[in-house]
Amino acid sequence: MTSARPKIDFDAKIPNNVDLAGDRKLQRALERWQPNFLDWWGDMGPAVDTKDVYLRTAVDVGRDGWAHFDHVPMNEYRWGVFLSEHDPDRTIAFGEHKGEPVWQEVPGEYRADLQRLIVIQGDTEPASVEQQRFLGATAPSLYDMRNLFQVNVEEGRHLWAMVYLLHAYFGRAGREEADQLLARNSGSDDSPRILGAFNEETPDWLSFYMFTYFTDRDGKYQLGTLKESGFDPLSRTCEFMLKEEAHHMFVGTTGIDRVVRRTAELMQTHDTDEVAGAGGIPLTMIQKYINFHYTVSLDLFGNESSTNAANYFTAGIKGRWQEERRDDDHRLADDAGHVDAFRDGQITRNEVPALLALNQDLRHEYINDCKTGLKRWNRILQKAGIDAELYLPHVGFNRQVGAFAGAHITPDGKVVSESDWKARKDAWLPTELDKTHVRSLMHPVLEPGKIASWIAPPSTGINDKPVDFEYVHFH
Q: Which residues bind Fe ion (CB under 5 A)?
A: 125, 155, 158, 216, 245, 248
From 169, 209, 231, 294, residue interacting with another protein (rule: CB under 8 A)? 169
With binding defined as CB under 8 A, does residue 4 bind another protein?
no
- Tell me the C-alpha distance between 371 and 391, whole Å: 8
Residue 70 interface partner, choices Fe ion, another protein, none, CB cut-off 5-8 Å depending on type: none
Nearer to Fe ion, 253 or 360 (CB): 253
Handedness of CA 187, 312, 245, 69 (dihedral sign): negative
Identify the residue among 172, 325, 375, 475 touching another protein (CB under 8 A).
Answer: 172
Between residues 105 and 418, which has the closer beta carbon with respect to another protein?
105
248 binds, among Fe ion, another protein, none (CB under 5 to 8 A by kind): Fe ion
For Fe ion, give the closer residue by CB, 44 or 416: 44
List the single partner that 105 binds among another protein, Fe ion, none, CB under 5 to 8 Å by kind.
another protein
Cβ distance to Fe ion smaller for residue 97 or 158: 158
Cβ contact 30:8 at 8 Å: yes
52-111 binders of another protein (CB under 8 A) = 105-109, 111
Which of these ranges, 24-32, 56-64, 410-418, 445-453, lies near another protein under the rule CB under 8 A? 24-32
155 versus 177: smaller Cβ distance to Fe ion: 155
Stretch that binds another protein, among 137-145, 167-175, 328-336, 345-353 (CB under 8 A): 167-175
**Cβ-based nearer residue to another protein, 25 or 422:** 25
Of the pair 245, 434, the CB lying nearest Fe ion is at 245
CB of 18 to another protein, least distance (A): 16
Binding site for another protein (CB under 8 A): 1, 24-25, 28, 105-109, 111-112, 169-172
